[in-house]
């Protein structure tokens, strides 16, 4: 060993996954505005926080602020974290989520304690489930002395699909999103982004040969009273395009899907209406929002449509 150098042994720590159940009870509320919020005391031990009061170091975040402006959301954004999601065919699926954690901040405090978000996330490492999610949000409220807490997770989810003619199997990626919040009541929204093919009815009508088509992106968000599988939600959406999208296709599959799209032309308006009709058939869904964007193949713009619907009226 050369003079002035030191050898350090680093040990890899095992990474545990967080188990996440997606069955939720939904109540919609409006957060309070510009209000003095009660500062509730923490009831669960927090690593590294016990000595803060007696450390002798200034706590600038808890100092007063005189501008009289409450903050709706403040926290940490884009944390990459391993999770486990329920899988309809294989029980569970491991993935990596991008996580956002926020609370509101009363107008009379200068800032929030950012490190406490990560401490709470690590405290429930491997224990995120339907029975724990509202508890995690409540801990965020208590530990950060807030009136409202928000937890957002966005992650890739993979489903094995079989090509329509050749039967070739491949994994198809879908972006999913889960958003929970807790104020006076608890709210949860499940979202999926589903690619489909759309073929223009106008192009088909006016052309003697062919029609322009493109890949489209359908985003669906739902609130529900009983469990809805991610796989089922994706399948309902895929059935509403001109044709579905696959990760792997052979020539015979391409022929079949091209002809399927040509026989089923749809405007962007047709897609959101078809998805709306399909979701209305599911009594467990109490609210949904459907967005569709067609990435036009012959225009220098996208086509877009949105429908928002409340099943309870």
Q: What's the rounded mean pLDDT across residues 174-198? A: 96
Say how far apart CA 98 and CA 76 lie, in whole Å: 11
Domain membership of residue 1 (yes or no) is no
Q: Is residue 244 part of a domain?
A: yes
Q: What is the pLDDT of residue 39?
A: 38
Determine contact, residues 188/223, Cβ cutoff 8 Å: yes
Residue 2 in any domain: the answer is no
In this structure, is residue 5 part of a structural domain?
Answer: no
Residue found by looking up tokens 């002798």 in the block: 56
Which domain range does residue 281 map to? 18-310
φ, ψ dihedrals at 148, nearest 5°: -145, 140
- Given a cut of 90, whether residue 55 has pLDDT beyond it is no
Give tens-digit pLDDT for 99-115: 999 999 988 888 888 99
**Residue at 149 is within a domain:** yes
Residue 221, domain CATH: 3.10.270.10
Query: Using CA atoms, how far apart are residues 284 and 222, in angstroms rounded to an integer?
Result: 10
CA distance 26 to 224: 7
Is there a domain that residue 108 lies in? Answer: yes
More confident residue, 32 or 189: 189
Q: What percent of the chain has pLDDT over 90?
A: 64
Residues 282-308: pLDDT tens digits? 999 999 999 999 999 999 999 999 999
- Tokens read off for 163: 């090509």
**Element (H or E) spanning 277, and its range?**
helix 268-279
Give the confidence band of 54 by pLDDT, cuts at 50, 70, 90. Answer: low
Residue 81 domain flag: yes
What is the number of structural domains in the chain?
Answer: 1
Summarised one tens digit per residue, pLDDT across range 57-88 is 876 676 777 788 999 999 999 999 888 888 89
Return the exposure string of 120-133: e unless at least 16 CB atoms fall within 10 Å of the residue's CB, then b.
bbebeeeebbbebb
Asked if residue 12 is part of any domain, the answer here is: no
């Amino acid at each position: 060993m050369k003079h002035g150098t030191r050898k350090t042994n680093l040990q890899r720590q095992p990474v545990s996954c967080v188990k996440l159940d997606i069955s939720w009870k939904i109540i919609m509320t409006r957060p309070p505005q510009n209000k003095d919020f009660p500062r509730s005391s923490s009831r669960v031990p927090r690593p590294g926080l016990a000595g803060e009061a007696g450390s002798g170091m200034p706590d600038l975040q808890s100092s007063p602020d005189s501008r009289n402006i409450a903050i709706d959301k403040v926290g940490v954004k884009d944390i990459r974290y391993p999770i486990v999601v329920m899988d309809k065919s294989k029980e569970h699926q491991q993935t990596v989520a991008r996580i956002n954690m926020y609370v509101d901040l009363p107008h009379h405090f200068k800032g929030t304690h950012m490190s406490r978000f990560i401490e709470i996330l690590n405290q429930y490492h491997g224990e995120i489930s339907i029975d724990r999610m509202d508890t995690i949000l409540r801990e965020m409220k208590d530990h950060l002395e807030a009136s409202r807490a928000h937890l957002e997770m966005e992650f890739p989810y993979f489903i094995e699909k079989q090509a329509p003619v050749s039967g070739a199997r491949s994994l198809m990626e879908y972006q999913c999103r889960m958003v929970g919040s807790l104020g006076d009541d608890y709210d949860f929204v499940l979202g999926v982004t589903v690619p489909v093919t759309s073929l223009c009815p106008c192009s088909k009508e006016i052309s003697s040969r062919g029609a322009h088509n493109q890949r489209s992106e359908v985003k669906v968000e739902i609130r529900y009273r009983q469990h809805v599988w991610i796989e089922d939600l994706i399948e309902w959406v895929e059935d509403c395009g001109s044709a579905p999208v696959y990760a792997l296709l052979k020539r015979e599959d391409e022929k079949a899907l091209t002809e399927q799209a040509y026989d089923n032309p749809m405007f962007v308006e047709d897609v959101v209406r078809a998805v709306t009709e399909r979701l209305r058939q599911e009594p467990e869904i109490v609210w949904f929002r459907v967005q569709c964007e067609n990435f036009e193949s012959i225009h220098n713009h996208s086509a877009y449509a949105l429908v928002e619907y409340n099943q309870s009226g």
